[in-house]
Homo-oligomer: A and B are copies of this chain.
Amino acid sequence: MKKLEVCFTPALLHLYDLTGSVVVVIDIFRATSSITYGIDNGAKAIIPVATVEECIAYKDHGHLLGAERNGEVVDGFDFGNSPFSYSKEKVEGKTLVLTTTNGTHAINESKGADEIVIGSFLNLNAVCHYLVKQDKNVFLLCSGWKGKVNLEDTLFAGAVVHQLKFHFDTWCDASVLAEDLYLMAKDDLHEYMKKSSHSERLKKLGIEKDIEFCLNLNLIDSVPVIKDGMIVKG
């Protein structure tokens, strides 16, 4: 039986060996939710980059450039990681270049993996089906907040553990913890997330609608994957 592990933050990645694994990168508020939405809305590709400078370097390529730091759109950019910037009319047929505080960092840190896919509540079931089909070890990588653990990414990891625990060996404490947290919260994720420090920070930024959107389950049936350094429909 293949194994499934949960890692609460990229700051713990050095403790794991990703060789041969599928990594699911999770940044619920908001990078991986928005990427999932954008790819499903017909974006040709999203190029995740680590720094704002790398993003700017693409300015003559005719791509859409997005940058977020500390929850806000970086000065000089048209959009950051709000899902509403990834609607069909905005992204269809386009290539986007994106850098965010946590999500694109986690993607870039996962390069030792066999495969990297993008997970969010929006495509929870699709991700789970995809993982079962791959027949590889699975590594759920929460992006966290600047290296620290966060609730929303842990909850999503728990949702995946809950769906897949009879398909994989999930015998690690982080999986147990994530699943139990999810079971506690699942009947009203939105209410539960009011406890989150991150949710409070996002509220101050006036983006409650983003939060609400990112907590929708299974609006989307596709799984973004990384190919040649770009995120495309899987």
Q: How many residues of A contact B (CB 8 A)?
A: 28
Report whether A15 and B147 are in contact in the complex, using a CB–CB cutoff of 8 Å. Answer: yes
Q: Which of A14, A173, A184 has the most CB of B within 10 A?
A: A173
Q: Does residue A61 face the partner (Cβ distance < 8 Å to B)?
A: no
Complex interface: chain B residues within 8 A of A149 (CB): 8, 173-174, 177
Complex interface: chain B residues within 8 A of A147 (CB): 12, 15
Min C-beta distance of A148 to chain B, whole Å: 6
Cα distance, A59 to B221, chains bound together (Å)? 65
Chain A interface, >50% SS class = helix
Closest B residue to A178 by CB, please name it: B177
Listed from nearest, the 6 A-B pairs whose CB atoms lie closest are A151-B173, A15-B147, A150-B173, A176-B195, A149-B174, A173-B197
A-B contact pairs, 23 of them (CB 8 A): A8-B8, A8-B149, A9-B12, A11-B12, A11-B14, A11-B15, A12-B12, A12-B147, A15-B147, A15-B148, A145-B173, A148-B174, A149-B173, A149-B174, A149-B177, A151-B177, A154-B173, A173-B196, A176-B195, A177-B177, A177-B181, A180-B184, A181-B181
